[in-house]
A = this chain, B = another copy of it.
Amino acid sequence: MICRSKHFWLIVKEKFNRAPSDFLLRSLSSTTRNIRENRLALDLVRQSSSCILWRNFATRTNWGVRKRTLFPKLFFIEDRPSMSAIEHEETLAPLRLAVQEQGNLVRKLKEEKADPVTIKAAVTELKARIKSLELKVLELEPKEEKFDRLKMEDLLKQKFFYDISFSIYGGVAGQYDFGPLGCAVKNNIIDEWRKFFVLEEGIFEVNTSCLTPEPVLQASGHMEKFADYMVKDLKNGECFRVDHLIQTSLEKFIVDSKDREAIAEASKLISQLDNMKKDDYQAIIDKYSFKSPLTGNDLSEPIEFNLMFSTNIGPAGLLRGFLRPETAQGIFVNFKRLLEFNGGKLPFAAAQIGKAFRNEISPRAGLIRVREFDLAEIEHFVDPDDKAHPKFDDVQQVELPLLSACNQMDGKSPVSIAVGEAVSKGLIANQTLGYFMTKTFLFLKHIGINMDKVRFRQHMSNEMAHYASDCWDAECKTSYGWVECVGHADRSAFDLTHHTNATNVKLVAEKKLASPKKVKVMECLPNKAKIGKAFKQDSKVIITHLAQIGEEEASALKEQLATGSSVTLSIDNKRVTLSAEMLTVKEYEKTVHVEEIIPSVIEPAFGIGRIMYSLFEHSFREREGDEQRTYLSLPPSVAPYKCSVLPLSGNTEFAPFTRTISSSLRQLGVSHKVDESSGSIGRRYARTDQIAIPLGVTIDFDTLKEPHSVTLRERDSLEQVRLPVDMVASVVNDVARGVITWEDVKQTYPKFEQQEATK
């Protein structure tokens, strides 16, 4: 730590207001002279109950990851150039202030219950200011964070990680095919996810239909709400997503215009586009007379376009169906079966990994906005009055980078807070939501996401999906900006209630009452014989209907029967008249021990493609001093192949060793790539680095001598060790499964420098 201005330390305090352990206080005091020289910093450390530890300090004291985990309360700023981020705060201060002022205005208007139009306008302005702030933050990113997306995409395409679908037919926008490497990475991420969630949490994995009949999506709200606005070219029918079209057109306007005021206004409109509705869009199109950017033709007014792919199920064309836009509904409609599978008890969770489909109007940004994608969703069903999680204690010390709705309104940055604290303060609504957010955080870390590029952003009240009552997105920073990768929504009772209403099948759980209670029951008792005689084949429907009549209606029927001699009911749109002989309404008291409750649903939903794309960006590297040597630094668990097997040359004596090693790897189920092609060993290493292979086994002339040995090379550090041929498969397997690390390997086997090319 070094001396800084008072303003600097105030920002530190603001940004990282944390609680240090006494231990650290002592460490800092005794090892860092500068601290004692700066009273403000020392005060800060004294006041709080944990502390900030700069990366420089950690490096200097040589604390490894292991040692640091002993002190869970410490807060480390890692892999971040120590001071620049904080210096930038001085630049950002006025922008933050502007957001905060507007945030306060919105709060005030809401408190005063101002008219909705005024509030809406204030919120729109607030979001625009938040967006300006965010853009500035991204612009101030330190230079080494700049990243060459084209170069990465070239690599991914050339090695066929993934590429556009049907390209020999011209390609289809928003659809991608995963080649051998991309498919393996995806499978590995899914496998790790399954271990992390399904196995460890005892979640019930299910697999339900993609084709979904219309009534299901009517009930779930997707028929009505799952739409974007588009405009059509009035002559050729071409469609554009209206916000994209306006943005591009305004950007062009800004470039062409010389009027500074007009430019400022257009810029402001761009920042507000996300929050506009039909009329706002129309007003802009009218004002600027925007036409189709491709033909110059006039445009239709904005049309709501439902994003679901429709089809017909069955040959008659009578049952309209859609490809599911999320996998969640398949779980909700199976709620009863799953509850029964869990012995009727709450809480439990079900998960589904599978394809979902959205007919995006204009797909873009590579894997991020596509028409066909893999989701992994969990629906955790829980008593709405008790959202505690039994394993919450295990994780409550974990610190999450949280950007709350409130902090967004105040123009603040994400703050790292222990999840236990965040829940107890009410920042995160409940333990279950907090538990899953933490599991997500640890999962992203486990598969290799750069944790400095992750934040949890809470939705503000007017941006939530139609089904959600609270929502935190795990976002990953990419060259496209912050990308929502995992949504954590409290869907409350929304879905189960709507499916119950649509089907008359009660999707509820029974909860034991603290003490039994007496309730009044009104029951409609049919005289089956009389009804059967009078209504023949319709009688079954009538009797079923009578059994489902609620308290209130039964009470009304009782009154009617008391005054008249018959009642008339509407059953399946037919009017049915029942005489007093056919129907008795019985009233009695009953002792009940349970009540019916509609469970709340907490949903973590993982977009596998977006996570994978972020992972590619976060692990794309260039070798120092050689821009051409790019590689992907994926962790062994996720890498498509776990190791390469490389004979040093075409020497035929190497072949038996290559075969033996490959076969022992295969027996252990370790995916690997044998490269017996010619070319220098260096060039072949570079090729394996490009496809993210973490370990390389090389057979050289020393291998031929007894005891037979090979070299093992690690991709990121370029370090090599020498180990016996018959150990290599199990060592690679252990590293791939995360049982040991490369550090462990280095401590067990001797270091190796360089092969000789000939002997």
Interface residues of A (CB under 8 A from B): 159-160, 163, 165-169, 172-173, 175-180, 182-184, 186-187, 195, 199-200, 204-213, 215-216, 230, 232, 237-239, 305, 309-319, 321, 323, 330, 333-334, 336-338, 340-341, 343, 350, 355, 357, 359, 361, 371-372, 499, 502-503, 505, 507, 666, 669, 671, 677
Contacts and interface: CB of A to CB of B under 8 A. Distances in A.
A316 B238 contact: yes
Contact of A206 (B178, B210, B359): B178
A99 B239 CA distance: 62
A281 to B, nearest CB: 15
A319 B169 CA distance: 12
Given A179-B204, A239-B314, A163 B337 contact: yes
Contacts of A361: 314-315
Nearest to A218: B169
B179 A315 contact: no
A368 to B, nearest CB: 16
Nearest to A337: B160
Contact of A183 (B168, B207, B499): B207
A669 B184 CA distance: 20
A204 B230 contact: no
Contacts of A309: 211, 311-313
A5 B214 CA distance: 66
Contacts of A179: 204, 206, 334, 337-338, 341
A355 B305 CA distance: 27
Central interface residue in A178, A182, A230, A677, by most chain B CB within 10 Å: A178
A328 to B, nearest CB: 13
A213 B172 contact: yes
Contact of A209 (B172, B200, B230): B172
Given A310-B311, A340-B160, A359-B315, A205 B177 contact: no
Nearest to A306: B315
Nearest to A159: B341
Given A177-B209, A208-B177, A209-B166, A316 B216 contact: no
B176 A209 contact: yes
A611 to B, nearest CB: 15
A584 B159 CA distance: 39
A314 B211 contact: no
A337 B161 CA distance: 10
Nearest to A208: B177
Contact of A207 (B178, B216, B232): B178
Given A309-B211, A315-B239, A205 B176 contact: no
B338 A212 contact: no
Chain A binding surface SS class? mixed
A213 B171 CA distance: 9
A68 B198 CA distance: 40
Nearest to A163: B337
Given A172-B313, A186-B207, A310-B311, A212 B166 contact: yes
A213 B371 CA distance: 13
A679 to B, nearest CB: 12
A343 B319 CA distance: 48
B204 A180 contact: yes
A164 to B, nearest CB: 10
Given A169-B213, A341-B160, A666-B199, A330 B205 contact: no
A677 B345 CA distance: 12
A205 B183 CA distance: 7
Given A372-B211, A677-B343, A333 B205 contact: no
A166 B213 contact: yes
A318 B182 CA distance: 30
Contacts of A165: 208-209, 330, 333
Contacts of A321: 172
Contacts of A314: 173, 239, 359, 361
Contacts of A230: 315
Contacts of A677: 343
Given A166-B212, A187-B205, A209-B372, 20 more contacts: A168-B499, A169-B216, A169-B503, A172-B213, A172-B321, A175-B209, A177-B207, A179-B334, A183-B207, A195-B669, A237-B316, A237-B317, A237-B318, A239-B314, A239-B315, A239-B316, A311-B311, A312-B359, A313-B371, A315-B361
A237 B178 CA distance: 42
A340 to B, nearest CB: 7
A211 B177 contact: no
